[in-house]
Homo-oligomer: A and B are copies of this chain.
């Protein structure tokens, strides 16, 4: 298995990316070959400094970097030798099986949509976040930001994408799908959720358990929680801020600490043809290492193949 890593993406790159490789190599049993995409000279110096010598590390030179605040489409087009553009070419050519980056999110999406493309039948790819449950279990929430406005059919597709992700990557058999809503009964909700409910009910590919409310997000009622990208993004960012609050206030609680973005690593783009993981701009070594592990699981489980199969007309 070959995984491409944008070494230049994120606020603390390439240093934290390099340390992330170190963490990964010293803690993981699996052995993917890691294609480290970035400035060769800079990376060689850092690899030497951190004594990173491994046959599993391959440097792929990229002379440019797309900065965090650059216009995504423009930068992706113009900076053809940027680590993100090189990463996507490497992925499209099949030299790597997955690509991860903590760099410019917009540029990652441009690459995902235009270089790798959506899977046939998937109208709107989505990004999924894990949500820690009070019980210790892990839930999946999507969409958390790609699609601020959704149609009922989009949410219905998210349910299937999320179910496959929960099963393939988190080992949740027959994941329970809940529609995030403002009431439990069918018929409750805004125009979008009211129209989505019947589609989910008819969807034979998922295990729909009905509406869930805000109070159920951290409980075990549903494994896969479906919402539009506006609602999901606000929930995700609220949850992340709770970790900050807990840390700042020295709350030594395992549940609160599971909101730590570092442990999450990154979020996959679900519904595009190959595994792509987008990391937080502030990703540190732990986050990079966890992103590699997530990409590994996505490749090993063949989630993209399963999505392709399920969305065949």
The digit string for A237-276, where 1 denotes a CB below 8 A from any CB of B, is 1111110110011010101100000000000000000000
Contact B145 A230 (CB under 8 A): no
The digit string for A184-201, where 1 denotes a CB below 8 A from any CB of B, is 000001110100000000
Contact B237 A213 (CB under 8 A): yes
Can you sample 17 A-B contacts with CB below 8 Å? Answer: A134-B245, A148-B190, A189-B230, A213-B233, A214-B234, A214-B236, A214-B241, A215-B240, A217-B238, A217-B241, A218-B238, A218-B242, A218-B245, A234-B235, A242-B242, A249-B253, A251-B256
CA distance A176 to B235 in the complex (A): 22
Contact B148 A230 (CB under 8 A): no
Contact B182 A229 (CB under 8 A): yes
Confirm or deny: A40 has a beta carbon within 8 angstroms of a beta carbon on chain B. Answer: no
Contacting residues, chain B, for A244 (C-beta < 8 A)? 215
How many copies of this chain does the complex contain? 2
Contacting residues, chain B, for A256 (C-beta < 8 A)? 251
A interface residues (Cβ-Cβ under 8 A, vs B): 134, 145, 148-149, 180, 182, 189-191, 193, 213-219, 228-231, 233-242, 244-245, 248-249, 251, 253, 255-256
* A234 in complex: contacting residue of B145, B231, B249, CB < 8 Å: B231
Known: A189-B230, A253-B251. A238 touches B241 (CB 8 A): no
Contacting residues, chain B, for A190 (C-beta < 8 A)? 148-149, 228, 230
CA distance A225 to B107 in the complex (A): 31
Contact A215 B235 (CB under 8 A): no
Contact A234 B218 (CB under 8 A): no
Contacting residues, chain B, for A193 (C-beta < 8 A)? 230
CA distance A214 to B229 in the complex (A): 12
18 new A-B contacts at CB < 8 Å, known A182-B229, A214-B235, A214-B237: A134-B249, A148-B182, A148-B191, A180-B234, A182-B233, A182-B234, A214-B233, A214-B234, A214-B236, A214-B239, A215-B240, A217-B238, A218-B242, A219-B241, A230-B231, A234-B235, A251-B251, A251-B253
Contacting residues, chain B, for A149 (C-beta < 8 A)? 190-191
Contacting residues, chain B, for A218 (C-beta < 8 A)? 238, 241-242, 245
Contacting residues, chain B, for A231 (C-beta < 8 A)? 230-231, 234
CA distance A213 to B241 in the complex (A): 10
* A182 in complex: contacting residue of B134, B213, B215, B230, CB < 8 Å: B230
